[in-house]
Chains A and B, each alone.
Chain A
Amino acid sequence: MSTEQQLSRQEQQFMDKIKAEEKIEPKDWMPEKYRKNLIRQISQHAHSEVIGMQPEGNFLTRAPSLRRKAILLSKIQDEAGHGLYLYSAAETLGITREELIEALQSGQAKYASIFNYPALTWADMGAIGWLVDGAAIVNQVSLQRTSYGPYSRGMIRICKEESFHQRQGYDIMLSLVNGSPEQKAMAQDALNRFYWPALMMFGPHDSESAHSAKSMEWKIKRETNDDLRQKFIDQTASQIEFLGLEHPDKDLKWNEERGHYDSGEIDWEEFQNVINGNGHCNRQRLEHHIKAHEEGAWVREALAAYNAKKQANKSEAA
């Protein structure tokens, strides 16, 4: 059998597995593009969790009650954990965490653009948990069925933990809308600022999405950007109503025929603008990450040196 025949046979077997809804596991043969595509998506997801710690970390030391402080701290800690699960899944594809972090810090890898928006008030902690985590969950629930085993298992684990994130966010909003007029205004302001960026989290329209088609074919992605976004719009509408807040989308209207809400158009110019580095926090987020990483270098070096000494002592004793 020629190499070419061999390859197409492997590719055929790979596609058969995908079609049969079998998971692809780390040591399976897989097309190089599938591997690259996965690394791109999983690492972007991991980086988003890690960078996502910053806007909320920004309010950790200012949380207005001890209960909220404890909840927020455990939520941010979960995000670090989720980042770690995802790095761990990416590493099964033959790339190291150091390489992944380097790609993040050099700007080569992306993270969710939503985290380039600043967290300005306590209500933003509510809006982020409710809307940003809410949008993320819609996506993640769908990704539990992704074709790559370690990614799928990571998603299942993450989804189990993440529902608390959205609820705690909504709970913050509930307390605010039931509080003083200033608190309610704070909640409305946070909703206004985070609603549209949350919709943008699902990515460009399917017709514009560069990676979508292949990802769908390979079942890395299971539902399209627009379908997922619609789910989120539908579920969020009644949640906003229950809070008694004004919906930021003035064009939102129930469409009986479709069984979905019709909504106003997203400001794609803003989306591109923030992705291209002009958000309030693009530079700050990366600089923060790089600074922490660099300040930790001597600690990691110390670990290595200590470990080397231990090994040396062991072999001496032996």
Chain B
Amino acid sequence: MQDNALELFEVFIRSKRGLDHKHVGSLHSEDHAQALEYARDVYTRRSEGVSIWVVKSSDICASQEDDAEDFFDPNDDKPYRHATYYELPDAVNNM
């Protein structure tokens, strides 16, 4: 049996209620339950979190950087989706 018996997990932490979970790093463990416990000990030693997610690294499906142009660029030409696209009459503030 090899050492790679331990699986790699990615750790996400919600630092405060009201905020999104944020990726903080990874760790090795036997299963999800142990990964959660280790995440608590490794990534929240200074009370950095109120909630933890762990995900097997192998379960993450990521977009390919090589495709980035095809994948993300098409949205670059839709400036009308951003509020700044619209010029408001001076008389109207704050919208």
- Direct A/B contact, Cβ within 8 angstroms: yes
User: Could you list which residues of chain A lie within 8 angstroms of chain B, going by C-beta atoms?
Assistant: 25, 27-29, 74, 77-78, 81, 84-85, 88-89, 91, 96-98, 154, 157, 161, 297, 300-301, 303-307, 310
Contact of B26 among A91, A157, A297 (CB under 8 A): A91
Q: Interface code B1-17, partner A: CB below 8 Å = 1, 0 otherwise? A: 11111101000000000
Contact of B30 among A25, A88, A306 (CB under 8 A): A306
| Complex-state Cα separation, A277 to B2, whole angstroms | 30
Contacts of A297 in B (CB 8 A): 3
In the assembled complex, the CB of B21 is this many whole angstroms from the nearest CB of chain A, namely 15
| Complex-state Cα separation, A303 to B30, whole angstroms | 6
| Inter-subunit contact B4/A98 (CB<8 Å) | yes
| Inter-subunit contact A29/B65 (CB<8 Å) | yes
| Inter-subunit contact A300/B5 (CB<8 Å) | yes
Contacts of B26 in A (CB 8 A): 88, 91
| Complex-state Cα separation, A50 to B30, whole angstroms | 21
Main secondary structure of the interface of B (DSSP, over half): mixed
- Nearest to A298 among chain B residues (CB) is B1
Considering the complex, which residues of chain B in the window 28-53 have a beta carbon less than 8 Å from any beta carbon of chain A? 28, 30-31, 42, 45-46
Apart from A27-B62, A297-B3, list 6 A-B contacts with CB within 8 A: A77-B45, A88-B27, A97-B28, A300-B3, A300-B5, A303-B30
In the assembled complex, the CB of B5 is this many whole angstroms from the nearest CB of chain A, namely 3
- Nearest to B23 among chain A residues (CB) is A153
Contact of A305 among B1, B2, B8, B65 (CB under 8 A): B1
| Complex-state Cα separation, A97 to B66, whole angstroms | 26
| Inter-subunit contact A310/B31 (CB<8 Å) | yes
| Inter-subunit contact A84/B4 (CB<8 Å) | no
| Inter-subunit contact A81/B31 (CB<8 Å) | no
| Inter-subunit contact B66/A29 (CB<8 Å) | yes
- Nearest to A78 among chain B residues (CB) is B45
| Inter-subunit contact A304/B42 (CB<8 Å) | no
| Complex-state Cα separation, A305 to B2, whole angstroms | 11
26 A-B residue pairs with Cβ-Cβ distance under 8 Å, sorted by A, are: A27-B64, A74-B45, A77-B45, A81-B42, A84-B27, A84-B42, A88-B27, A89-B25, A91-B8, A91-B26, A96-B4, A98-B2, A98-B3, A157-B25, A161-B45, A161-B46, A297-B3, A300-B1, A301-B5, A303-B6, A303-B30, A304-B1, A304-B6, A307-B30, A307-B31, A310-B31
Contacts of B31 in A (CB 8 A): 307, 310
| Complex-state Cα separation, A154 to B42, whole angstroms | 13
Contacts of A97 in B (CB 8 A): 28
| Complex-state Cα separation, A260 to B31, whole angstroms | 54
- Nearest to A96 among chain B residues (CB) is B4
| Inter-subunit contact A303/B65 (CB<8 Å) | no
